[in-house]
Structure 1
Amino acid sequence: MISLGLRPVMARSKAASREFALIARHFAPLATHRAALALRDDAALLVPEKGHSLVITKDAIAEGVHFLASDPMDLVARKLLRVNVSDLAAKGAKPLGYFLATAFPDGTTDQAVAMFCKGLKADQKTYGLSLLGGDTIRTFGPAVFSCTMIGTVAGRRFVSRNGAKPGDDLWVTGTLGDSGQGLALLQQRATAPEKAASALMRRYWLPSPPFSFHAHLAGLAHAALDVSDGLLQDAGHLAELGGVQLAVRLEAIPLSSAFVKSAGRSNAAKLTAATSGDDYQILFSAPAAARERVQAAARASRTKVTCIGTVKKGRGVIVLDAHGLDVTPERTGYTHF
């Protein structure tokens, strides 16, 4: 891993000095863990706590794909951290630190970088994180930010995608479709009352992964993943790796009041919520006998959970309406390629 201070954007020494000064001014104060070596070395030195394993994930966000050029920079930074926290939470892991790669467009002001780092600092405090290292460059294209996040689990209590069993209940945390509807509002493809619109756009700018639920997941779930590309598309990964079929009940799809005020609660609206993506909630399967324990964990962590279906013998994902009819859509979520 390359430390943030070790790769000059421009060859000239004065330009390199400006870059190092920028890093020292904005990024070095975020390197609070001793493993970061104050961002003065070629790599970090991380020793996990005895009896724990490291869990490592990586997500990148790009302007025009995951955020808009007009989005506040502090919220862009917080979104970057949160989409990675979401991955770790779905594995039952506690976040520890992260490596960061930033590609700021030519002409980015010092104030914009400061705002970006302000967002990082805010969520470092929220999730107990430290910057450990990374790289910073200038680009002549749109902004791209990448984060490699490291978390820990006790022993090997890692909740994989592989493990859903016939007879399991299928659960999801939180509500679905809010971020997608927020983006639709920002792009003027939807309307909503002012208060609902504000809540939905906020969910697009700033995901709220169910962080507090991660500590309970390993003792409950047979399989889990975070919902990022759309519930139905991500459910397909659980089905494929588990060699099972997931039957999703459309009427059970959890919707927020803000979403309903904008899109309604028709079957079409629920399918939109189940395929929009950017939800950053946890989809997991658990034994039917564990229903009371799932609800108890939800209460203890103050996390909304909804049983949305069952795991069966078979393959793939099917969506059933209130009459038991198959209403599985052709498009199940977002894909980059």
Structure 2
Amino acid sequence: MDAAVRAGEFKRITSILVARQGRTMHETYFDEGGPETLRNTRSVTKTVTAMLVGAAIQQQLLRGVNARVMPFFADMGPFANPDPRKDAITIEDFLTMSSLLECDDENRFSGGNEERMYLIEDWVRFTLDLPVKGFAPWLTKPVDSPYGRAFSYCTAGATTLGAMLERVTGQRLDAFAQRTLFGPLGIRGERWQHAPTGFAQGGGGLELRSRDLLTLGQLILHGGRHGATQVLPAAWVTAMTTPHAHVDDSRGDYGYLTWLPNFTVRGRNFPAIAMSGTGGNKVIVVPALDVVAVITTINYGVPNSHALSERLLTEYIIPAALLDDVAAD
């Protein structure tokens, strides 16, 4: 695998780490940075935001995922395009990428596309000013979708959740994260991106070391437990990794800001849990094999970058785990 990466078969991979049964089995860096380098893994941040929502609920700072979003920002109103359906948007709608806002990062014509948000100073107002989307005859409505939700990838929603957390916790998001999540995990020196108005960006851009990413993957694998410490409630990790929306037949389902793909290797299906960011940056958990894999890249703008990273999993990492099982038998 390392030889193929160095030969350029996977473009610009910067690190690959693999842990199995709680032990780091493989750790290679392909750039000059090494293990202490912070990696900008883009939308992997979103899964961290979901973890922090769970921490806020555990601390009773939030009532739960059914709480409506608009009241948290009542002092900023009124917002454009008023609609009772917007008033009904919940935290869970943003966690599952299925709010009724016209927001689709995968459609460059969408008014809520994240690239438009970055042109505006107030990212929260940008989000909450969006109109309710329409469903053309060729689109599947929520009522006809699996799990009753129509998936539409929306960074603006996750960004707004980060701003909401700052309001309910009375802390900057980075401080709350360090106190409730990163500190207990031994993660230090992380770097957040911030919106023009100052709040930490919960939708992307968080920089962590590859080893930190591996720790976050292991936290998911172990149901929120790190060593003897229950960092996140096990029930919340289960909720994060339970299907709540269907992305499409090739990418599988979606939990709470967490991808739920399936990988087929040697005729066997392996359900997985993934934190995923632009360029094919991945933290992938394969529970059946007790495997956590971290793949960091700078393949931004490279066609099919996610598929390149997933090939590392299906062509090398999972087969190695299967061979390990055979050797153990």
| TM-score normalised according to structure 2 size | 0.27
| TM-score normalised according to structure 1 size | 0.26
Structure with the higher fraction of residues in strand conformation: 1
